[in-house]
Amino acid sequence: MISKLPRVLAPDVDEYLTDVMAERGRDYAEDQRVRRVSWDAEQSTLSGEVVGSGSNIYRVVIRLTKAALSEPDRFEPTSSDCSCPVGFDCKHVGAVLYSIADYGDSDDTAHPRMGLEHVMPPRAVAPQRPDDWRTVLTELQVRRREHTPRPEDTPLAIGFDIERTTTSRWFHGRHRSPLASADVVTLSDIDLGSLSVTLRPLRRGARSNWIKGGLGWRNFTRGLADPPGIRRDHTAALSQLHAQNTTRSYTYGSDPDTAVFSAFDPSLVWLLLARAQDTGIELTGHGVVSEVRVVSSHSPLTLTTASGTEKTIKTADVIVDVVRQPGGYAFTALIDFAGTVPENVFRIGDNAIAFIDRLPGNTIRLTLAETSTPVSEPLGEMLASRTTLSVPDDDAEVFFTEFLPELRGLATLTSHDASAELPEFRDPRLHVEVEFERKQSLLLTWSWEYYGPKRRLPIAHNRWHHREPDLECAVLEEIQRIWPTAATIDDEHLIGIEAAQFAVRVLPRLEDHPDVVVEISGERIDYTELTAPPQVRVTTEATEDRDWFNLAFEVTIDGKRVPFAPLFAALAQHKSHLQLVDNTFFSLDHPAFDRLRELLQEAEALGEWEPERSKISRHQVAIWDELAELADEAVPAREWQESIGQLGSLEELPAPEVPAEVRAELRGYQLDGFRWLAFLWEHSLGGILADDMGLGKTLQTLTLTAHARARAAETGETMPPFLVVAPSSVVSVWQAEAGRFTPELQLAVLDTTTHKRRQPVAEAIAGADVVLTSYTIFRINGEEFTALPWGGFVLDEAQFVKNRAAKTYRVARDVRSPFTLAITGTPMENSLTDLWSLLSLTAPGLFASPVKFKEEYVKPIEKGAALSPESGVLTSADGDAAVQERLNVGRQARLERLRRRVRPFMLRRTKDLVAAELPAKQEHELHVPLEPKHKKLYDLVLQRERKKVLGMVGDLDKHRMTVFRSLTLLRMLALSPQIVSDEYADVPSSKLEALFSGLDEVLGEGHRIIVFSQFTSCLRLVAERLDTAGVDYAYLDGSTRNRGEVIDGFRSGTAPMFLISLKAGGFGLTLTEADYVFLLDPWWNPAAEAQAIDRTHRIGQTKNVMVYRLVAAGTIEEKVLALQQKKARLFDALMDDGRAFSTALTADDVRELFSPAD
């Protein structure tokens, strides 16, 4: 948030900056080099831009803090950053501060933009953008040159010395002087607390020794010129270290060229020393110090122990050793350094100690070590004085219960001779008292149990108790993953199912948890949770009323029978769990219960079901089918049992004659198909006729219908009509074929709803042998169709009923017919579950429920689940090639088993097998490169959508619609930018240009062309260009009302081109007049494309058919094509003894679709 500039006083800036930087900053401010200043009050940051030398633009950020409570509007600087080589507290920082210091406390109207930001008028400089690439690269080159060592430059070292601080007799204050050799001799007499460690820069002398060489820390003040002839990386490292010196004051007698170690920022000094060593700066002794060791987490020390093993040390540990002595206890503060206790220890900082080892020649080895815990000044005094404090027995309890626990956070407590029995020091544990009350309820009381001494503390904190908040939070974070409300309040009351769930699921885990103490009170209730899947059995029993049956439910879980009355009530009340009187309980979150809940609601609305007495009408077939579907065991219909029983007595397939009423000569494969259909019909079995497109499936079915009608006439039976349901666009085809091949059959066509026709279905079909209607009418008037008996039920283009959740599927399941036939050239479009849907209608009972079918076949075959070919049992996958091959064999065995099960109920013949006389069909893929403008736009959108979508593939089900919107956008953009947005009207479509570049030649040779696209907006673009070129054409999409006239017009007319949307013209058309097919955009489903192509390549075609797939190169369309091939391989594996591959659109598929083109 940018707001009014803060009040900053010039004296505060003078004090903050060095004299040099302050002076240069004032000069820059007076020269009006500050271009922009803004204030973020929420972040307390002042930002600005300053024109530096060479017209470079430097960006400055300064953090301010309020100066005093008495002046709330006054701020002073505390830290800064600058993009210049200095980095902070530089002249550019000074320029920004001084530019506002004179008017920061004024509302002078001379600065009209002060309320938002202040813009200083720039002085005349060469115009240059702050982010100009030359500026950036120039700065990088300068910085590189500044930090690149030169061979002639002198290296540096840091010299460590020990100084002793004494009180001066002649001057007020303290006197600091280096430790002398004489002091080393009498080291034991020196007050170690008076010692401090100093550092100073050294340079290599002429004799390769380290000398002062006129260097001091003043030479490494940022902003000053670098010392000449010194390695620049060493200069930078020492400048960084010196910048962390928190004081510029010195004691009397001290050397201003040295710095006390304790004056450096303790959070950075160890890191900066390690970095200095990394640049080659040597850490050496100075004065009486002949050897230096620096040990920290940034520069560990490796020592060789007496046993010869190596030990790495990162920190020193502070310990407090407690021992028993006569009349009380004694304790001493010590340092543990790699298992030894060094002498001559003194504190040199908040997290630093030093110790001295005397070496021959009255010199010293100085060790500086980072401590694992902070070292306070009092603790440092104890370490330096080597004081042992005594605690009399009378004070022992207070010492152990109040003082010793506090020391735990400062040091490790030990008793080296085990003479003192230390309290149990362990982390606090969460305490919960679980009281089992009457009426199946629990009372949970939460608290904390502390040790050393053991005591109970409330959940809420107060100032009278020492707490370990970090440890408490860590425990709570883990426990609340087990029980989210743990310790949120002192007392928690649980009733009913909550109490049961806690007792079974949570309480045992808390009892086993090492950080929880559980105390049980009251009589513990033995709750039992039933976790097995429910087994549902549904039975019926005849009653005196022949139209009604008693309906009985039996649910068992883990072998326990569940009374239906409480289950009925729990489902009706939408409960998540059910608890029985014997304290058993179970979850109602199961698909069987979900479906049963829906059925109970439906029946309850009819007022027909009661918990104790339920009835079902013989007319409620749909409800019974759904109950049978959800049940693990249901009493099957007698008619179905009888039908299945006839299969065992069949020895050969009957070969009935083609009825004389059929006015067509069936080809050999069509005769075989008719006889297969007749066999299924005779035995009240259903099936799937899955011949290739264009092989006469309609004729074979009409022949069966005539056969059934003739058999009924022979036996004198009255047979209900056959019901044929087809897509709206195919109804007219059936009507024409029936009139041509079986004109004697009475045909009733229902092409409007009962409401519009003003005539119920029963009346409209009176006297008909065959009733023909569309899926739309069938769905809308489903109740009327399912109320009537049918001699046979035919579903043409049966992929329309593959979705078992759709109403069309449910209506088809309710149709009362002894024989159901599904006709489709694509019994599996996307997944094996499509096949299950068709077989559940045509051969119910062949497979188990869809869930079991998925586990048994879909996952092993499609998803690549690992299988053992010998046992069929799921096994774990392995990367070994031999193991992977064995698993592939297992998948193949499962696929072969599926084919064996399906083969009696499905018949499929391809053109290659039975219609070899058809002319050739040549398919070509034309990969069209995108024109530059088109490709630039596509790549831009691809990167945007890819970034959005790849974050969603982890939960593809949740984000499926968003992912598919992005996929569709990219497919449309690859086809033609104009169909995405009018703003891309000037971006040419590379595909359309490729299409029209060859049209003149094809049309000139007299060929007739079909153009398919899934996007009608693209077809309209093609139509506009054909209009401009004066080329006649026919047009068909889902909105075309006079579909039949349009098709007949093309077949009988002279228009050379037919533009068809893939969905509107993918089935039900015979267009053998055309011999060229252009597919403008690939579709996920290869079967849909194949059906579209076969509008031309079918029986009756006399010319070679040329098929061109236009694919935008380097786009998502190439990925779609690859996905097509994967699905086609699975279909071939199922139908044609190929191998199985995964076809589901998985997260990996989405990643591949959005991956950059190769």
The full DSSP string for 720-767 is PPEEEEE-HHHHHHHHHHHHHH-TTS-EEEE-S-HHHHTS-HHHHTTT
Model pLDDT, residue 1100: 58
Residue 1049 has pLDDT above 90, yes or no: no
pLDDT band at residue 175, thresholds of 50, 70 and 90?
Answer: confident
* Gap between the terminal Cα atoms of the chain: 46
* Cβ partners under 8 Å of residue 45, min gap 6: 39, 61, 62, 63, 64
Mean pLDDT of 430-436: 94
Alpha-carbon distance values, 239 to 19, 24, 242 (Å):
17, 19, 5
- Amino acid letter, 849: S
Task: Select the CATH number that applies to the domain covering 650-866+887-907 from these four: 3.90.800.10, 3.40.50.10860, 3.60.20.10, 3.40.50.10810.
Answer: 3.40.50.10810
Model pLDDT, residue 144: 52
Model pLDDT, residue 430: 94
pLDDT band at residue 743, thresholds of 50, 70 and 90?
Answer: very high
pLDDT band at residue 783, thresholds of 50, 70 and 90?
Answer: very high
Residue 547 has pLDDT above 60, yes or no: no
Give tens-digit pLDDT for 1059-1099. 988 777 656 566 777 888 898 888 766 766 777 777 675 55
Residue 956 has pLDDT above 80, yes or no: no
Mean pLDDT of 520-543: 84
3-state SS of 336-347 is EECCECCCCEEE
Strand, helix or coil at 474? helix
Model pLDDT, residue 342: 93
Strand, helix or coil at 542? strand
How many other CB atoms are found less than 10 A from the CB of residue 165?
17
Model pLDDT, residue 1098: 59
**DSSP assignment string, 367-415:** EEEEBSS---HHHHHHHHHT-EEEEEGGGHHHIIIIIHHHHHTTSEEE-
Higher pLDDT, 20 or 618: 20
Residue 769 has pLDDT above 90, yes or no: yes
The answer to whether 366 and 285 have CB atoms below 8 angstroms apart is: yes
3-state SS of 67-133 is EECCEEEEEEEEEEEECCCCCCCCHHHHHHHHHHHCCCCCCCCCCCCCCCCECCCCCCCCCCCCCCH
Measure the CA dihedral 288/290/294/300, to 10°: -160
Domain ranges of the chain: 8-102, 156-299+336-385, 427-526, 531-635, 650-866+887-907, 921-1154
In angstroms, rounded to a whole number, what is the distance separating the alpha carbons of residues 704 and 719?
14
Phi, psi of 203, rounded to the nearest 5 degrees = -125, 160
Between 210-219, 649-658, 1033-1042, the lowest mean confidence (pLDDT) is in 649-658
Classify strands 614-617 and 548-557 as parallel, antiparallel or unpaired.
Answer: antiparallel
Model pLDDT, residue 1131: 62
Residue 500 has pLDDT above 70, yes or no: yes
- Amino acid letter, 228: P
Model pLDDT, residue 521: 92
Higher pLDDT, 1105 or 1095: 1105
Residue 669 has pLDDT above 70, yes or no: yes
Mean pLDDT of 49-61: 85
* The pair of three-digit structure tokens given for residue 759, joined into one six-digit string: 């005539």
Reported pTM: 0.40
Model pLDDT, residue 647: 45
Residue 361 has pLDDT above 90, yes or no: no
Model pLDDT, residue 128: 39
Between 323-337, 738-752, 1101-1115, the lowest mean confidence (pLDDT) is in 1101-1115
pLDDT band at residue 107, thresholds of 50, 70 and 90?
Answer: very low
How many other CB atoms are found less than 10 A from the CB of residue 193?
16
Give tens-digit pLDDT for 121-134. 433 333 434 445 55
Model pLDDT, residue 115: 31
Specify which residues 174 forms β-bridges with.
Answer: 167
Residue 1151 has pLDDT above 80, yes or no: no
The answer to whether 154 and 229 have CB atoms below 8 angstroms apart is: yes
Model pLDDT, residue 622: 42
- The two domains 650-866+887-907 and 921-1154 share their CATH topology (first three levels equal): yes
Alpha-carbon distance values, 215 to 211, 255, 863 (Å):
9, 12, 73
Model pLDDT, residue 77: 86
**Hunting for tokens 């009302």 — which residue is that?**
1041
Provide the percentage of residues in the chain whose pLDDT is more than 70: 78
CATH topology of domain 921-1154: Rossmann fold (3.40.50)
The answer to whether 1087 and 798 have CB atoms below 8 angstroms apart is: no
The answer to whether 96 and 105 have CB atoms below 8 angstroms apart is: no
Could you give the maximum distance between any two Cα atoms of the chain, in Å? 141
Give tens-digit pLDDT for 302-335. 887 777 788 889 999 999 999 999 999 999 999 9
Which range of 328-332, 610-614, 641-645, 866-870 scores highest in mean pLDDT? It is: 328-332
* The pair of three-digit structure tokens given for residue 40, joined into one six-digit string: 């973020």
Classify strands 388-392 and 328-336 as parallel, antiparallel or unpaired.
Answer: antiparallel
pLDDT band at residue 1002, thresholds of 50, 70 and 90?
Answer: confident
Model pLDDT, residue 546: 44
Residue 137 has pLDDT above 90, yes or no: no
Mean pLDDT of 594-620: 58
Residue 786 has pLDDT above 90, yes or no: yes
In angstroms, rounded to a whole number, what is the distance separating the alpha carbons of residues 455 and 464?
13
Give tens-digit pLDDT for 362-396. 899 999 999 988 898 888 888 988 888 999 999 98
In angstroms, rounded to a whole number, what is the distance separating the alpha carbons of residues 698 and 704?
10
Strand, helix or coil at 905? helix
The answer to whether 311 and 303 have CB atoms below 8 angstroms apart is: yes
In angstroms, rounded to a whole number, what is the distance separating the alpha carbons of residues 657 and 650?
19
Residue 118 has pLDDT above 90, yes or no: no
Higher pLDDT, 126 or 1036: 1036
Nearest 5°: CA angle at 829, between 826 and 831?
A: 130
- Amino acid letter, 830: N
Phi, psi of 807, rounded to the nearest 5 degrees = -65, -35
Mean pLDDT of 566-575: 85
Mean pLDDT of 70-89: 79
Residue 782 has pLDDT above 90, yes or no: yes
Higher pLDDT, 583 or 1123: 583
Between 224-228, 555-559, 904-908, the lowest mean confidence (pLDDT) is in 224-228
Element containing residue 316 per DSSP (H, E): none
Question: Mean pLDDT, the chain, as a whole number?
Answer: 80
* Cβ partners under 8 Å of residue 1123, min gap 6: 1084, 1145, 1149, 1153
In angstroms, rounded to a whole number, what is the distance separating the alpha carbons of residues 239 and 222?
6
